[in-house]
Every structure is written in C-alpha cells, then in structure tokens.
Structure 1
Amino acid sequence: MKNKWLLREKGQEEDLKSHLLNVRQINIEESKSFLNPTKADLISPYLLKDMEKVVNRINTAKYKSQLICIYGDYDVDGISSVSILLKTFNFLGINSIFYIPKRIEEGYGINTQAIDTIKKMGADLIITVDCGITSVDEIEYAKTIDLDVIVTDHHECKEILPDAIGIINPKQDECEYPYKHLCGAGIALKIAQALIEDNDSALFDELIEIACIATIADIVELSGENRVIVKNGLLSLKKTINIGLKALMEVSGINSSNINSSNIAFILAPRINSTGRMGTPELGVSLIIEDDFEEAVIMARKIEELNRERQTVELKIFEEAVALIEQKSKNNKILIASSKNWHSGVIGIVASKLTEKYNKPTFVIAIEDENIGKGSARSIDGFNLFENLLKLDECLIKFGGHNQAAGITIHEDRIAEFELMINEIAEEILNKNHFQRIIEIDSKLKLKDINSNTLKILNELEPFGIGNRKPLFCLTNYKLSNYKYIGKMKKHFKSEINDDIEIIGFNKHELINNIDLNFPVDFVFELEINSFNNKDKIQLLLRDLRSSYNYSEALKIMHDYILKFKALTLAKNQLTKTDKDKKINFDEMLCLYGKKLLIVNTCESYFSLIERLHFYNIKPTVDFENSINDYTIILSPIIDNLDLSRYNNIVIYQSDSFLSSINIESQNIKVLSITDKIIHTKDIVPSRETFISLYKVIMNKLNIKFYIFETCEYFRISELSFFVILEVFKELRIIDFELNCSDGSVSVKTINKLIGKKNLDETKTIKSLDFINLYDK
C-alpha cells in the first residue's frame, strides 16, 4: 500500500517558524517557553506521590550509614537512571552500589535470586529505577528478609501495586503530578532534584545531560517537562564536564558543539544500549560515572566494538524474521516471529524495524532455556499494546510496557495460541486504514529555501521526538542527477544537488527501484547537517519518494496560452454578493460532490493546484475541451465561452478583481479561500536583465536542454515568462526550440547570434500580450 501524503500548507503571510509552531498547535504566548525552556520550568518533585517518604528514607540511610542498592534495567533508560542516582548519592556522601540483571540469564525486572545476592552484599535498602511497578511478589519476598524497597518506575501500573516503602510513578492512582510522561531517568532526576535542591549546580547539569540521553532513547513524549530536560540537557552536553560522555562522543565521531537529538537517538544511545543488549550493562554505568579520561576512552572503544557486534547480530535476526513473516504471516494484522536461534538482547530493535517495514504491530520472540520465550513488541497508532496484553494475561508468564512498546515472557508451546488470540483482538480494532502509513509533511520547500536560515529555525525547535516530531519537508517535480547506490550491499541511495547539499536515503533501494529516475520526482525528507572530515553539508534525509505529476498536458496548455492567447478577456457582469460569501478551504473542496471546475488565474496557482491534488492521488483534467475527470482545472478562461452546465460545482481561487468581473447564475459557485492574483502583463513579461541572462546561457552552447521548472526557479520567473522569452528569441530568429512535455523540458537549438540592440517591446509576442491589461479595467 502506498504511503498517503498529507501537506500542512503554509499561509501566504506566514513565515516558516510560525507555520511550524502552528502545526504543533503552539500559540504566540506558549512559543517562548516552548522554544526556550529553562531549568526554572522544572516542576517541583514534591508533587510526585510518596516523594517526601522516599527522601526521608534515603536521608535515614545516610544518617545511619546504611547501604543502598540501586536496581536498574539494562537499557539506556535503566543504565542512565542508575548513573544519576549513583552520582547523586556519591555527591551527598551516601553509601551506594548498583545491580543490573543479566538480560539473558535473569531477564527484565526484579527477581528473588537478585534480591538474595543484594542482601548478601550488605544492602539495607533497594531503590528500583525503570522497573519494579509490577514486581508485587518479589518485593513481598524482600520484606521477609528485612530489605526495604523503594520503587521508582514510569511503566503502566496494574491494578495491584507492590507494598513498598514508597512508589514514585506519575501514572499511579492518586498521583497529582501534572506531567505523566517522564522516563525512568526523568524520575531519577526528580529524586536528585529533591535531594540536591540546587538546579543550577554543576552536578545537576551533569545529571540533566544523562536524563536527556535516556529521555530521547526511551522514545517518550518530548513535550512539557521532558522538553525542559532534553533542551537543557542538549545545551549542557555541548560543553559537558562528564568525562565518560566526552570520551564516547569522541570515539563515536560526534562534535559536541553540534550535538542534537538525532546524534543521541542514532549514535550515542545505540552504543550505550549495546552494553545491555550484549550482556555487559555495568560497562555503560561505569563509563558514565568514570572520572579518568584515558580509562573512559578505553571503555568507549569497548562499547564501540560491542555496538558493531550488536549490528551484525541484529541484521541476521532481522533477515530471518522477514523470511518467516513473508512465508507464513505477512497478511496477519499482528505479526509474530520466533526462533530458538535469536539473541534476546537485540529483538527490541528488530521489532522496531519490522514495524517500520510492514507498518503493523510486531512481536519478536527469542526462545531460550527451558523453552521460555522472551519477546519484544512494537506497535502502530490505534493498537495499544499494554491494554490488549491485559486481555491475554493468562496466556503469558509476565508482561509490561506502554501503548507502543512492550515486553513479554511466554512458554514456547503457547506462542501459536497467543498469535491466534491477539490477531482475533486486532480484527475487532484494526482496519485497512490503520495500515496505510500517513506521512505528514510540514511544508513544501523550494531549493532556495534549503539553507542555513532554515536549519537555524529547526535548531530552535529541537529537540524532536514524540509530541514534537522532526519536521518533514518535500521538494516537488525535481529531476535527480549525480546519484548512486552506496554501502556494502548497495542498499543506500545518495545524490548530490550541489557542493553544499546532498540527498541520502538509507535502506531505500526497494522504494527507488520502483521509480524511473529519468523523470522528475517528488520526495519527502528531513533536513539536517552532516559533519564529516571537518566539513559541514546540508543533508536531505530521504523518507519517501514518488514520481511527479506528469505535467505534459499542463505545459502544452501553458505554451498555447502564449501562442494562441486563449485567455483574452473576461465578461463584464458582476458576481452576486451571496455567491462571493461561499468561501471554502481546500479540505472542504475535496468533499464536494460530483464534477468540479477549478478556475485559477496565475501560473503559480495553476501548477500549485495540480500538485496539491496530486498529493491526494487525484489526477485532474487540464484540457477543458476533453473534460472527463471529477476535477477540471482551467487557467484564466473566457467565462462566456464555457459550458458550465456539466459541472456540479465551480471553484474559483479567490481574487476580488476576478470575482467582480464575472456573473455566473449558479448556486454551486464556491470560492477557495486562498488569495490568488490576476495575471498582469507586468507579471508575464520578464525584465530585460532576465532576457540577457538567459540569452548568455543559450549562446554558450549550440544545443541546450532546459528543465522548465528548475530553470524557472533558478531565474525566479514563472513558466509563462519562460515561454515568452523563448517565443521572443524564436521571433528574432536567435533560436528554435521543441517542447518535450514528457519530461518537462525544452530542447533549444541556436540559429544566430543577436546583432545590435533590439527593442523587445516591439516584438509581436510582447505587443500581443498588451490586451491582458484588460483585466485591470
């Protein structure tokens, strides 16, 4: 199924920054705190239920010289949470150790064997971070051996909560904390905030950096307080004093002064994650709390090796999972792949990639010792994993997670039953519309808009993630050149626009292979800076691609406009006031019934409207005399010559001078509420300087091919103006040309050089355009 593109169009008087804020429903009053949140915007930690109990118990441990064990998870969030509390306790002089379970041997969450180990280590208090909210039995066991437990977690709560000294989780009942989307490290940061009581200290800057990395990595909403954490964390990371993070950035090739949310999501976080995925999460913690740079670099290099190993294992599992799905279940609404040969440490990443590939909820299950399967799931909008897993609780050993991500433990002999049951649930919830990927495009750009100013605006909108997705842009009708396939398997695509701008498409070979790149394309992209070998390049990160609308008919009519002057004048009657008031927007126009005649008055609107309809996979008719489709577009018509009876609705791009010029006795007239200018001679006839510039280009070569849209953008003229220049040069016997509608180009052959100075206003082509001034009368 093809992706559906939705364009959030920018108003004519709206600048790009205002438009991007409006798309995110951020008004002028809110924009200051959104663009520049400070640490003063952090919420009081004492609004979290049980925070006072937790602080008191930690202080008791300090005063009694008791040992606290921080019990974490093996992902970035868990590793970061442990590191935040270790640094905080070390600063406050509190005795502390940490314990992170082995992913394969122990699995997620608290287990009784670990509790016994921690007791033997001499601990008096366990503080869980990023886990524990569903560990009712395990925490009950800890009480029997005189171990106090504090639970700090951000995962969804079940009906029964553990009987702990205190529970810090904003999602629990009766917690009045106003922001519910903190990750585990965010909650650890709140505990540190309550204990340190100084948001401006150097230590708190370090802690907010660590929480920033975890918040991005854990894919939680980047709104509200999470935005405060990440925005300030990114600022602090640019000049970090954390030795371990400095070393990791250096080894990873990141310039700290340019660090952004993408660097963290795709470079730093996967490396920290690899320590847990490959069985050594303590290495991640040790790096973050390390004080010696040389030692930190050694650790960072080990992590780099683990990450490469993780990538190899992950690719193998992904390819095997795809083969299984293609063979047996790709038509199911929920995809499930399982194997005894998979490493459970990387199945979460594989599940994410499979969900991205198929746009369906996906479970990947690694079957381990005693035929126990450990699974990781990722979902799409419309299917809440946690809520639906609750319905299958009896089928599972245990589970936990969120709306979009979850983990399960299941007996191998129940996987088939689970697959059947969860697909039965999906049949009631999901329909084909859920599986069509919607690509929301923030704005259409022209090549000249891709510059440092646009990047500066994007930098202000950072950080990007859920709740503030990275803006998507599109270029339309662009002819790709200088492209090649790169990478070991030639699965990546690269094209150079110029020395400063490049297009890169990772794993887009299947998409690109289905498109003829000899013709213009429309493509959707993210915009970013790529720093390599001390050189910065603007990079267009390809997200989707499709063939452009075939403008052959439209270009021919545009050319005919100049040659045959079809649009001579308008009727002199008036449109009634009642009809004028029937204003609609573009979405309302799409909902009109029957055949629609769309009247536009400029080249810009003509092509813009064609492109806008193309976004919705609507192909309009542009040849009025042979109108067959539901949509017909016509440029500046002679209203009296039109047979309007065959249309159910007539839609006019708003133009006061146009509306006051016509009278159509119809109740079906609609005015599209987008301002459109009337064509004037001064708009069509280019300046003498433009004539000279194009003449010089032509004279440099005997034969030259111009791609019309790119040429018009380069010279900043309309398509009509371009045809005027060509017709004038043809009239002066300087050139001959042939219009190639199939690829939107003109082949120009030089005949003679111009001798002497010519008065272009005296040419028949320009003289005959004078009557268009009748539009002004």
Structure 2
Amino acid sequence: MRWTLKTQPPKSKIHKLAEDLQVNTTIAQILCQRNIETFEEAKRYFRPSLKDIHDPFLMKDMDLAVARIETAIANNENILVYGDYDVDGTTAVSLVASYLKTIYPNIATYIPDRYAEGYGVSYMGIDFAQDNDFSLIIALDCGIKAIDKVAYATKKNIDFIICDHHKPGDEIPKAVAVLNAKREDCNYPFDELCGCGVGFKLIQALGVSRDQTIEDFVPYLDLVATAIAADIVPMNGENRVLAYHGLQVINQNPRNGIKAIIHQVKKTELTITDVVFTIAPRINAAGRMKHGNYAVELLTEMDFDSAVDFAAAIEIFNADRKNLDKKITDEAIIQIIDNDEEQGFSTVVYKEDWHKGVIGIVASRLIEKYYRPTLVFTKSGDKLAASARSVKGFDVYNALQACEEFIEQFGGHKYAAGLTLLPENYENFKNKFEEVVKATIDKELLTPEIAIDAEIDLSEITPKFFRIIQQMAPFGPMNMRPVFKTRCVRDNGYGKQVGADKTHLKLNVFQGDNKKTFNSIGFGLGDKMEFVQNDFDIVYALDENEWNGYKSIQLLLKDLK
C-alpha cells in the first residue's frame, strides 16, 4: 500500500474554521480538505436540507419531457417505464412507475433480460412496446447511446424520453427529451446524479403543476439513496442531500420491499455502508441470477407479506450468486497463473460458460488481488460480453475508446464499463488493451493508495471527536470516511489472528505512556501479525463496536507498518 497524506490547507483557514465551529483543528482541517471553509458551508454539510435540492426545470429538456408525459395522460396513451437490470435501473423504474401510477393508471414496466437482450435499450423491448400498444417509453439509467434504437422506435410511432447519467457520445439520440446533466449543452448545477436520481428529478418536475412540494417526494428517497450507494456516485452536492434524507426513510419508514430485506437480514440502524453491502447486492441478485423484474416487483409491492416472500426468493438468488462468483473468481485466477499473466498492466480473462450476471463482481474481486484495470469476458449469443472495472485514478472508459476498432459496442464511465465484441477480435482486443494501459497508466496507480486525512495521536480520539466524525456521514466518493495515521503504537500483548483461516487481525493498541487501549480490527491483515511485536505505525478509520449492548470506539485498521 502507498500511504499518502492529503494536502494540508493553509493553517489560517483551519484555525478560523475551528474557532467558528468550536471544534478542534483536526476536524477543521478535514472539513477544509473537503472544501468546507465557512460556518454556512459547514451548516449545509452537517445538516443537509431539502431546500438545497435544485429546481428540476434547470435540466435541459425537462420541460419537453413533462409536456410529453402530460400529453400522454391527456390522450389516454399507454406509457412503458423501461430501465436497466442493475440496482440503479431497477430502483429508477420502481420510483418513476410507482409515482406515475398515483396520477395515471396506464403504466407498465419493462426490464430487459440480461442474457437475451443485454444492457440498455433493446430492439426486443421496442417490439414489445409496439405489440402492446405503448406509444411512449421512458428509459431510465440507459439510452444515451441508443441512437439506432430510438430511430427504430420513431419509425414505429413510439416516442422516447431518456433519463441517463452515463457519458454521452458525440451524437445525442433524437428522442423527444434527453435528460442527462452530463450533456455539453445542459447547465444543470450538479452533473453527478445516478440514473435513479435523474428519474427523481423527472417526477419532481411532474409534481410542480400538481402543487406538490419536495416534502411530498421524501417517501421515494429510500430508492434514490439505495441507487446512490450502489452506483458509487460522488457523495457530495445534491447526492449528499438525497442520500442523507433517503437513509432516514430507510431507517424510519421504508417501502415494503426494502423493509422485507431489512427484516430478512435482521439489521437495526442502517448506514450507507449497510445499504452498499446488504440491500444493494440483494436487489442486484435478482437481475444477475434470474430477472430484474423480480427486483421491481419487490420494490413496488404494496403488501408486506408478499414482499417478504419476494425477499426470501431473492435471498436464495443472492446465496447462489455468492457461490458462483467465488467459483468463477477461482477459475479466473488459475487462468491468469497458467497463462503466466500475473505481471502485466491489465487483466483480461475469458471463459465461454461464465455466468454473465456475476462477471462484474468477479472483475472487482480480481482487482482486489492484482490491482490493475480488469475485464472479464463470457459468451453472450454469438458475441463476447465483458464487464470492465478500474483502479483508482485510471479512466477505463477512455482506454476502451482507444480500442474501439475491435469493439462492437461499449458504454459506462471512468471506473466501470461494459462492452461486446466478436469472438475473432478477442485476442487483438486483449493485446491492444494491455498496450493502451501500459502506455497511459501512471505506474504508481498499480499500487493501491491509502489517502490519509490527518496524522493524530490516539489521545485525540474522544467521544466528542468520534461523534463529529460520525455526523460527516453519509460517506462515499468525494466524502470518504476520514482516515487517520498514528505513529509508534504498541499492542498490549493480546493481539491475535482471527477468522476461520486466520486472515484477520485483532489488536488492542495504545500509544506512549497513555495506557488507554483501543480495540482494533484489521480485515485481511492477518499476515501482518509479525509487525506487532514492537512499535508500529497504523492507518485506520473510526468505527463503533457494539458488544452485549455496550458501545465503544473501534479502530478499523487499513494497514500497518
């Protein structure tokens, strides 16, 4: 691991903020690093307010989108709400469809089949719309590159409204409206919404003429917060407000589907991390193992007992998904070793019978092991399909663009993308991708980095200090949980390796003459036990440990040396 101390803001700024907020300088320093430099900015940060949600009509084409939906309602047209099969797509479809049904009955949903149709808008979906007399499709979390598909629909007299957040290509589809804050010609103040977030702006805009205020839309924020967490979009600006209030809905009054999942896993107070690792994988499992429709049915179910039955079925999908991703990851590692490819700049692996639903997870697992841009391919019809994942700081989307000559279709963003290519182009693509990564990646990026917010002594960690750190949640990209470095700590002699295969490290650390010890856990750090005989330095985040009803501050070790 590379330990990098973040740039320190000017001391004058830190001291002024510390004084204004009545906090210690470490807290003030962390806030300044996050561009929070005044009392007003701090207030907005610590108390995210629904007043800071932007006017949806600032988004280009929003007026056109709303006008087309109102026309459809007035003319009694059938509206199809279409979305991708991942968490962002299924939550977006659930959100828009459930709102539209409160104002109009002729609404149906459509999630493409991961295996028969693949990612995004499909010809099959458009044919389904034609066969069932739908004259308007609202596409969520997809569609920004569906130029041919939109043209195909237009010939069939089917209109499209696209709500997407992926990077647009050179050409925008000729839809009735294209809502995407990343469009060059869109001046919306925040361009990092997820697909479900764009869907939320659409229903918010539809509510304006119905005299609905932002408060009327709070019940939908459990879906938005789930999508923000799962899609790993920046946790600042409007996303922070939506996630903060969405978490409150999840914990206080979630919809039946989310309540059923929480019931299934027996969790109490959920954090954004719990949403990422508990709720999102289960919603995702439906689309990965069976069909994304299951997720939409779960998230729109009005009867709690039926939602519990759906959640139980999805729990089985999730268990199957876990077994499968472990099996495929093991096979991929064997392939890398057998082909003598452990030393390259990228990982590209392929086996025709790998389950398409889990290759994205496998790509992430391989990054944990080899830490380099990674693509995992499988057979999909007569083509090969892949999920791409990247390492921090490297834009895999741009790297794929440089290999376009061998690719049939691709889309996504900086750290995650999907693509298809013809089997005969696989080897050429693989060689070209390795070449591109080798030529463009900063070699430092191939060693995982731990960005450290501040260096502190353990004596600084008081209940008040911890409480303020907790109030900086929800955490995510651009607002990560603060990471600290402390030098020269010791273990009190009771440190040990824990876990079934002794892969984790459990220590009680103290510093200097201060004998107050801190319970510490280092997941995956079991092999560093040899370092704890003498003084050592640690990098960690702060966490709350609950044992027998007693809560204490725990250090979540990231690394030690």
Shared fold (TM-score, shorter chain, > 0.5): yes
Q: For residue 191 of structure 1, report the CA deviation from its aligned partner.
A: 0.3
Structure 2: which amino acid aligns with 1:206? P
Which residue of structure 2 aligns with residue 24 of structure 1?
34
Q: For residue 535 of structure 1, report the CA deviation from its aligned partner.
A: 5.0
> Does the 8 Å contact 1:47/1:177 carry over to 2?
yes
Q: Quick one: distance in 2 between partners of 1:544 and 1:243?
A: 40
Residue 206 (1) aligns with residue 219 (2): yes
Residue 505 (1) aligns with residue 515 (2): no
Q: Quick one: distance in 2 between partners of 1:284 and 1:423?
A: 37
Q: Quick one: distance in 2 between partners of 1:535 and 1:312?
A: 35
The range that moved more, 88-97 or 378-387, is 378-387
Structure 2: which amino acid aligns with 1:209? D
> Does the 8 Å contact 1:65/1:94 carry over to 2?
no
Structure 2: which amino acid aligns with 1:3? R
Identical columns (%): 34
> Does the 8 Å contact 2:167/2:413 carry over to 1?
yes
Question: Per the alignment, in what secondary structure is the counterpart of residue 278 of structure 1?
Answer: helix
Residue 527 (1) aligns with residue 537 (2): no
Structure 2: which amino acid aligns with 1:519? N
Q: Quick one: distance in 2 between partners of 1:120 and 1:360?
A: 46
Q: Aligned ranges for residues 99-114 of structure 1 at < 5 Å? A: 99-114=110-125
Q: For residue 167 of structure 1, report the CA deviation from its aligned partner.
A: 0.7
Q: For residue 493 of structure 1, report the CA deviation from its aligned partner.
A: 3.1
Q: Quick one: distance in 1 between partners of 2:316 and 2:7?
A: 43
Q: Aligned ranges for residues 665-744 of structure 1 at < 5 Å? A: none
Instruction: Please point out which of 154, 162, 182 is paired with 2:165.
Output: 154
> Does the 8 Å contact 2:162/2:175 carry over to 1?
yes
> Does the 8 Å contact 1:252/1:268 carry over to 2?
no
Structure 2: which amino acid aligns with 1:19? Q
Question: Per the alignment, in what secondary structure is the counterpart of residue 408 of structure 1?
Answer: strand
Q: Quick one: distance in 2 between partners of 1:121 and 1:486?
A: 58
Q: Aligned ranges for residues 367-516 of structure 1 at < 5 Å? A: 367-370=379-382, 372-480=383-491, 481-495=493-507, 502-509=519-526, 511-512=527-528, 515-516=530-531
> Does the 8 Å contact 1:4/1:436 carry over to 2?
no
CA separation of 1:413 and 1:505: change in aligned 2, threshold 3 A: farther
Which residue of structure 2 aligns with residue 615 of structure 1?
none
Per-residue CA distance 1:16-72 (angstroms, 9 max, x = gap): 321210121221142222222211111111111111111011111112221111111
Instruction: Please point out which of 367, 370, 373 is paired with 1:361.
Output: 373
Which residue of structure 2 aligns with residue 542 of structure 1?
557
Question: Per the alignment, in what secondary structure is the counterpart of residue 197 of structure 2?
Answer: helix
Q: Aligned ranges for residues 500-649 of structure 1 at < 5 Å? A: 502-509=519-526, 511-512=527-528, 515-531=530-546, 536-546=551-561
Which residue of structure 2 aligns with residue 195 of structure 1?
206
Instruction: Please point out which of 251, 260, 271 is paired with 1:238.
Output: 251
Q: Quick one: distance in 1 between partners of 2:189 and 2:214?
A: 23
Question: Per the alignment, in what secondary structure is the counterpart of residue 158 of structure 1?
Answer: coil
Which residue of structure 1 aligns with residue 228 of structure 2?
215
> Does the 8 Å contact 2:347/2:372 carry over to 1?
yes
Per-residue CA distance 1:240-286 (angstroms, 9 max, x = gap): 2422222212222221xx32211112221122111111123222212
Instruction: Please point out which of 343, 358, 362 is paired with 1:346.
Output: 358
Which residue of structure 1 aligns with residue 21 of structure 2?
none
Q: Quick one: distance in 2 between partners of 1:416 and 1:22?
A: 48
> Does the 8 Å contact 1:8/1:443 carry over to 2?
no
Structure 2: which amino acid aligns with 1:388? A
> Does the 8 Å contact 1:6/1:438 carry over to 2?
no
Which residue of structure 2 aligns with residue 254 of structure 1?
267
> Does the 8 Å contact 2:325/2:362 carry over to 1?
yes
Structure 2: which amino acid aligns with 1:218? D
The range that moved more, 50-59 or 260-269, is 260-269
Instruction: Please point out which of 291, 302, 311 is paired with 1:291.
Output: 302
Which residue of structure 2 aligns with residue 758 of structure 1?
none
Structure 1: which amino acid aligns with 2:352? K
Q: Quick one: distance in 1 between partners of 2:281 and 2:518?
A: 27
CA separation of 1:322 and 1:268: change in aligned 2, threshold 3 A: same
> Does the 8 Å contact 1:39/1:199 carry over to 2?
no
Which residue of structure 2 aligns with residue 627 of structure 1?
none
Q: For residue 530 of structure 1, report the CA deviation from its aligned partner.
A: 4.1
Structure 1: which amino acid aligns with 2:201? K
Q: For residue 226 of structure 1, report the CA deviation from its aligned partner.
A: 1.1
Q: Quick one: distance in 1 between partners of 2:385 and 2:505?
A: 35
Q: For residue 166 of structure 1, report the CA deviation from its aligned partner.
A: 1.0
> Does the 8 Å contact 1:530/1:536 carry over to 2?
yes
Q: Quick one: distance in 1 between partners of 2:118 and 2:500?
A: 34
CA separation of 1:475 and 1:4: change in aligned 2, threshold 3 A: closer
Which residue of structure 1 aligns with residue 44 of structure 2?
33
Q: For residue 145 of structure 1, report the CA deviation from its aligned partner.
A: 1.9
Q: Quick one: distance in 2 between partners of 1:532 and 1:297?
A: 29
- Structure 1 residue runs of 5 or longer lacking an equivalent are 547-777
Instruction: Please point out which of 272, 279, 287 is paired with 1:276.
Output: 287
Q: For residue 176 of structure 1, report the CA deviation from its aligned partner.
A: 1.4
Q: Quick one: distance in 2 between partners of 1:7 and 1:129?
A: 37
Which residue of structure 2 aligns with residue 93 of structure 1?
104
Residue 139 (1) aligns with residue 156 (2): no
Question: Per the alignment, in what secondary structure is the counterpart of residue 114 of structure 2?
Answer: coil
Q: For residue 536 of structure 1, report the CA deviation from its aligned partner.
A: 3.8
> Does the 8 Å contact 1:104/1:279 carry over to 2?
no
Which residue of structure 1 aligns with residue 513 of structure 2?
none
Question: Per the alignment, in what secondary structure is the counterpart of residue 316 of structure 1?
Answer: helix
Instruction: Please point out which of 226, 238, 242 is paired with 1:225.
Output: 238
CA separation of 1:533 and 1:354: change in aligned 2, threshold 3 A: farther
Q: For residue 382 of structure 1, report the CA deviation from its aligned partner.
A: 4.1
Structure 1: which amino acid aligns with 2:504? H
Q: For residue 533 of structure 1, report the CA deviation from its aligned partner.
A: 6.4
Structure 2: which amino acid aligns with 1:132? G
CA separation of 1:489 and 1:7: change in aligned 2, threshold 3 A: same
Q: For residue 448 of structure 1, report the CA deviation from its aligned partner.
A: 4.0
Q: For residue 532 of structure 1, report the CA deviation from its aligned partner.
A: 6.3
Q: Quick one: distance in 1 between partners of 2:384 and 2:150?
A: 24
CA separation of 1:97 and 1:483: change in aligned 2, threshold 3 A: farther
Which residue of structure 1 aligns with residue 3 of structure 2?
4
CA separation of 1:213 and 1:534: change in aligned 2, threshold 3 A: farther
Structure 2: which amino acid aligns with 1:520? D
- Structure 2 residue runs of 5 or longer lacking an equivalent are 19-23, 511-515
Structure 1: which amino acid aligns with 2:487? T
> Does the 8 Å contact 1:333/1:427 carry over to 2?
yes
> Does the 8 Å contact 1:152/1:187 carry over to 2?
yes
**Structure showing greater Rg:** 1
Q: Aligned ranges for residues 113-192 of structure 1 at < 5 Å? A: 113-192=124-203
C-alpha RMSD of matched pairs (Å): 2.4
The total of aligned residue pairs comes to 539
Q: For residue 518 of structure 1, report the CA deviation from its aligned partner.
A: 2.2
> Does the 8 Å contact 1:135/1:162 carry over to 2?
yes
Q: Quick one: distance in 2 between partners of 1:178 and 1:81?
A: 21
CA separation of 1:7 and 1:168: change in aligned 2, threshold 3 A: closer
Question: Per the alignment, in what secondary structure is the counterpart of residue 356 of structure 2?
Answer: coil
Question: Per the alignment, in what secondary structure is the counterpart of residue 252 of structure 2?
Answer: coil
> Does the 8 Å contact 1:9/1:444 carry over to 2?
no
Which residue of structure 2 aligns with residue 743 of structure 1?
none
Structure 2: which amino acid aligns with 1:154? H
> Does the 8 Å contact 2:490/2:509 carry over to 1?
no
Q: Quick one: distance in 2 between partners of 1:97 and 1:343?
A: 29
